[in-house]
Amino acid sequence: MARLLYTLLIYLCLPLILLRLLWRGSRAPAYRHRWGERFGFVGRLADSRPVIWVHAVSVGETIAAAAMVRRLQKQHPESTLLVTTMTPTGSAQVAKIFGDSVAHCYAPYDMPDAIARFLSRTHPTLLVIMETELWPNLIHACHQRAIPVVLANARLSAKSAAGYAKVARLATPMLRELSAIAAQTKEDGERFLQLGVARDALEVTGNIKFDLQLDVALRQRAALLKKQWRGSAGRPVWLAASTHRGEDAIIIDAFKQVLEHRSDVLLVLVPRHPERFSEVAALCSAAGYRVQRRSEVQASETAAVESGVQIVLGDTMGELLSFCGASDITFVGGSLVDVGGHNLIEPAAWGVPVLSGPHLFNFTEVSRLLSEAGALDICVGASELAARVVALMADREAYQQMSSAALAVTEANRGALDRLTVLLEKQICQPPAPVSSRY
């Protein structure tokens, strides 16, 4: 009954869903395209090979899934890997990472007819959902068709668990229809168990984001960027990554205070969402800073930051990991506002000291590991953030200690990908799902 009411609500909200697509399309034109895919009207896959479906909501989940997808491609060359996202930025990231080595489209909305249409056109034998993207109708439809569903790199904050508990009649049956859950931490796993997940369906595998590989090409791009940004004077670079509305003004205020002590610092400011690029550029200019957009020099391998530029606006997609490697200090956004934080592991993997705000409920365990090791400093407000940036730039020994601690934490927590792969292999060995020819 709960899922029926949920489904009815989804259909009643369909006009609002379409209006939201139109609104987002007015700010990010890519949202205007490929609407059919969101309703299950996807192209039929060209051959009859088994299909392993990996769903990654947007950019962060796609990057996290990359090593897993490559591992599946290597171990199952007879299968087609289908990678779906929900956002255009995620779609662009799939194309950038995998090219045409995977099939790609948007995932359908959680409506029974859209899901049935999608499943009947793609015929997946396994669905791997990254992290937290749980949809009752999708999981139920796969369960009915005997398609195993694995929640990989699963995290469940106390806040999210409390939300699911309020709709337990909907959430608990959905969670029980999952074939397996690969939780990041023991605490995540306990919260899933408290919501009714069977203990034999749960395994704590760790966080696969720690298995991040910084290949030679990526290191070369980061080195080139660092050379361009630092210039001949070797100016220090402070990266503020994945910022949200409400954080940019705090960062700009902190930057003003930093410049009072170190006038040569370059701020690289990267808003989380592309539709905010121009808004943030205007905010920086209004504060009196000379701004250069990354997109203006992206194609050049020789262009340094123009003389007098104080802020580089990161208005390109898919470069954030190399930005982390090109920075001296990285602040990770979504943490000065109540978003829950973003990926702290990316700068840590480069050995870059990490700063954040206090709102880190999406990365509770990662932030704990980094904080206890001395690789992460949590700052409240602009003044505290500025003081920490200045202190790290002035104290080489303290800087090196944070850098070494960041690398040590990253190295010590590798191995989740291997454990996840073992779990996935158990599900792949199950018999293929029956398919419907209705659509």
Question: Nearest CA to 293 among 302, 307, 281?
Answer: 281
Q: Residue 430: which pLDDT band, with cuts at 50, 70 and 90?
A: low
**Is the C-alpha dihedral spanning 327, 333, 335, 340 positive or negative?**
negative
* Burial grade of 268 (CB within 10 A; 0-12, 13-18, 19 or more): buried
CA-closest candidate to residue 119, choices 103, 151, 150, 141: 141
Q: How far is residue 311's CA from residue 326's CA, in Å, rounded to a whole number?
A: 15
309 and 335 assigned to the same domain: yes
Six-digit token pair at 255?
Answer: 């930057």
Query: Would 435 be classed as within a structural domain?
Result: no
| Closest CA relative to residue 269, chosen from 291, 302, 287 | 291
Dihedral angle computed from the Cα positions of residues 357, 363, 364 and 369, in that order, rounded to the nearest 10 degrees = -90
- Work out the average pLDDT over 274-300: 90
The verdict on 142 and 239 lying in the same domain is: no
Range of the domain at 117: 2-206+416-428
Q: Which residue has the tokens 């991040």?
A: 212
Residue 63 sits in a domain whose CATH number is 3.40.50.11720
Q: What span, in angstroms and rounded, lies between the C-alpha atoms of 191 and 177?
A: 16
How many CB atoms are located within 10 Å of the residue 75 CB?
13
Q: What is the pLDDT, as a whole number, of residue 439?
A: 37
Q: Which stretch of DSSP H or E encloses residue 226?
A: helix 216-230
Task: Report the CATH number at residue 255.
Answer: 3.40.50.2000
In this prediction, residues 308-329 reach a mean pLDDT of: 94
Strand order in the sheet with 180-183: 103-106, 80-85, 51-55, 124-130, 149-154, 180-183, 202-204
Residues 37 and 84 in one domain: yes
Token pair in block for residue 351? 């050995």
Name the pTM for this structure: 0.87
178 and 93 part of one domain: yes
In a domain, 57, yes or no: yes
Asked if 184 and 231 sit in the same domain, the reply is no
Question: Does residue 305 surpass a pLDDT of 70?
Answer: yes
Q: Minimal CA–CA distance to 419: which of 184, 162, 178?
A: 184
Cα–Cα dist 339/57, whole Å? 16
Q: Is residue 211 part of a domain?
A: no
Quick one: 56 and 114 in the same domain?
A: yes
Q: Are residues 140 and 270 in the same domain?
A: no
Report the SS3 class of residue 239. strand
Backbone angles phi, psi at 119, to 5 degrees: -65, -35
Whether residues 232 and 173 fall in one domain:
no
Residue 277 confidence (pLDDT): 94
In a domain, 436, yes or no: no
Please state the domain count of the chain: 2
* Residues assigned a catalytic role: 61
What's at 163, amino acid-wise?
G
Look at residue 434 and tell me if it is in a domain.
no
Residue 128 within any structural domain of the chain: yes
pLDDT at 435 over 60: no
Q: Are residues 145 and 244 located together in one domain of the fold?
A: no
Q: Give the integer Cα–Cα distance in Å for 13 and 21.
A: 13
Q: What is the pLDDT of residues 387-423, one digit of tens each?
A: 999 999 999 999 999 999 999 999 999 999 999 999 9
Q: How many Å apart are CA 221 and CA 100, to the nearest integer?
A: 23
Q: Verify that 140 and 115 share a domain, yes or no.
A: yes
Q: Which residue has the higher pLDDT, 371 or 57?
A: 371
Write the pLDDT tens digit of every residue in 198-223: 999 999 999 999 999 899 999 999 99
Judge if 117 and 245 occupy the same domain.
no
In a domain, 110, yes or no: yes
199's tokens: 């203990």
Residue 266, in any domain of the structure: yes
Are residue 364 and residue 227 in the same domain, yes or no? yes
Average pLDDT, the chain: 92
Q: For residue 307, what pLDDT band results from cuts at 50, 70 and 90? A: confident
What's the start-to-end Cα distance of the chain, in Å?
26
Instruction: Tell me the per-residue pLDDT of 20-54, one tens digit each, with 9 for 90 and over.
Output: 988 888 888 888 899 999 999 998 886 778 999 99
Taking a C-beta distance cutoff of 8 angstroms, is the pair 325, 226 a contact?
Answer: yes
Asked if 402 contacts 274 with a C-beta cutoff of 8 angstroms, the reply is: no
